[in-house]
């Protein structure tokens, strides 16, 4: 027991981090049983864990998780690729920027969720509609981050590169892209969480599998434990992707 008594400030913080989540579950369990809340509407973690276990063994947890992740990944990669490509183009060619920027600035503030009904009309309830919604949600954030990132590359570095003999056609790869990278990564990370909001909206509006879809089904059957398990799984997936993204970004930009 003595070993757990922290002796330094850093040690204290580490111990707090370790007990943080167990403490949360403990309080949750206590509150559920305390009688302050309705135990049926606010089930304790033990019930949620049971529902999660049931979902994994007799339900379609793997299918649901797989479908949700594949939707986010496909839509995100399409939207991000398009956003980076068009962001570079509009940053480099003022004529193209003058043509596209006004259009994008009008479309960008429309919440992607508002598009769900019309996209269902156009593309139905199949996967392509969900890819499209997530693509749409991701595109604008990544586009604007790339556009400004490329434009904000330090002009002094461009001059230095020119004086070192950089041909115009290599400027993009050697200077503009690495210089814009910090901005692009901010856009990519922000749009990752936007992609999840949109995923949830798309699945709630109609799907045949997926984590948010399962939450919806559990709602209809009043299986509150399963609903909460769905929330926990969504949280874990998006936190996991965000963590992986952060690690990747830190590796790519280790020069910062």
Partner 1 sequence: MGAACDAVALMPAPPVTVPRATLAADASCRVGYDLAPARGAIEINNLSIIFGQPGKEFLAIDRVSFAIKPGEFICIVGPSGCGKSTILNMVAGFERPTEGSVTLDGVAITKPGADRGMVFQQPSLFPWKTVRANVAYGPRMAGLLDRDAYCLADQYLEMVGLAQFAGNYPKTLSGGMQQRVAIARALVNRPSVLLMDEPFGALDAQTRAMMQETLLRIWADNKTTVIFVTHDIDEAIFPGDRILVMSASPGRVVLDIPVTLRRPRSTDISLDRLFLSIKKRCLEIIRREILSAFERQAQASESNHS
User: Using CB under 8 A as the criterion, which residues of the chain lie in contact with partner 1 when the complex forms?
Assistant: 156-157, 159-167, 170, 174-175, 178-179, 181, 253-256
Indicate the residue among 1 and 156 with the shorter CB distance to partner 1.
156
Q: How far is the CB of 244 from partner 1 (least distance, A)?
A: 22
| Nearest distance in Å: CB 175, partner 1 | 8
Please, which residue, 110 or 253, has the CB nearer to partner 1?
A: 253
Choose between 131 and 185: whose C-beta lies nearer to partner 1. 185
Which has the closest alpha carbon to 66: 240, 222, 209, 252? Answer: 209
Tokens of 33: 């049983």
Closest listed residue to residue 176, CA positions, set 147, 210, 200: 147
First vs last Cα of the chain: how many Å apart?
41
Distance of closest approach, residue 168 Cβ to partner 1, in angstroms: 10
Q: How far is the CB of 155 from partner 1 (least distance, A)?
A: 9
| Smaller CB separation from partner 1, 45 or 149 | 149
| Nearest CB to partner 1, comparing residues 22 and 155 | 155
CA 175/CA 173 separation, integer angstroms: 6
Distance in Å, CB of 182 to partner 1, minimum: 9
Q: Select from 230, 211, 217 the least CA-distant residue to 69.
A: 211
Cβ distance to partner 1 smaller for residue 31 or 161: 161
Mark 169-200 as b/e (b = at least 16 C-beta within 10 Å): eebeeebbbebbbebbbbbbeebbebbbebbb
Q: What angle do CA 40, 20, 244 make, to 5 degrees?
A: 100
Q: From residue 136, give the alpha-carbon distance in Å to each of 60, 69, 119, 194, 199.
A: 28, 17, 11, 10, 11
Q: Can you tell me whether residue 63 is helix, strand or coil?
A: helix
Tell me how far, at minimum, the Cβ of 181 lies from partner 1, in Å: 7
Q: State both tokens at 97.
A: 């920027």
């Amino acid at each position: 027991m003595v070993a757990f008594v922290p002796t330094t400030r850093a040690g204290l913080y580490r111990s707090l981090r370790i007990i943080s989540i167990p403490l949360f579950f403990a309080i949750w369990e206590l509150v559920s049983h305390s009688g302050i809340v309705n135990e049926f509407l606010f089930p304790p973690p033990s019930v949620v864990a049971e529902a999660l276990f049931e979902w994994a063994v007799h339900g379609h947890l793997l299918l649901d998780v797989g479908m949700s992740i594949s939707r986010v990944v496909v839509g995100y990669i399409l939207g991000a690729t398009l956003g980076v490509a068009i962001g570079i183009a509009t940053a480099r060619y003022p004529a193209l920027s003058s043509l596209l920027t006004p259009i994008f600035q009008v479309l960008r503030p429309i919440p992607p969720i508002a598009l769900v009904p019309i996209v269902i009309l156009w593309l139905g309830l199949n996967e392509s509609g969900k890819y499209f919604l997530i693509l749409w949600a991701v595109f604008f954030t990544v586009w604007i981050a790339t556009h400004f990132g490329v434009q904000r590359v330090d002009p002094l570095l461009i001059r230095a590169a020119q004086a070192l003999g950089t041909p115009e056609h290599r400027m993009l790869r050697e200077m503009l892209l690495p210089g814009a990278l910090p901005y692009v990564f901010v856009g990519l990370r922000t749009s990752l969480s936007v992609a999840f909001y949109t995923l949830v909206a798309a699945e709630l509006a109609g799907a045949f599998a997926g984590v948010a879809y399962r939450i919806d089904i559990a709602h209809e059957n009043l299986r509150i434990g399963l609903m909460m398990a769905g929330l926990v799984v969504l949280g874990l997936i998006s936190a996991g992707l965000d963590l992986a993204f952060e690690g990747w970004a830190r590796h790519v930009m280790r020069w910062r």
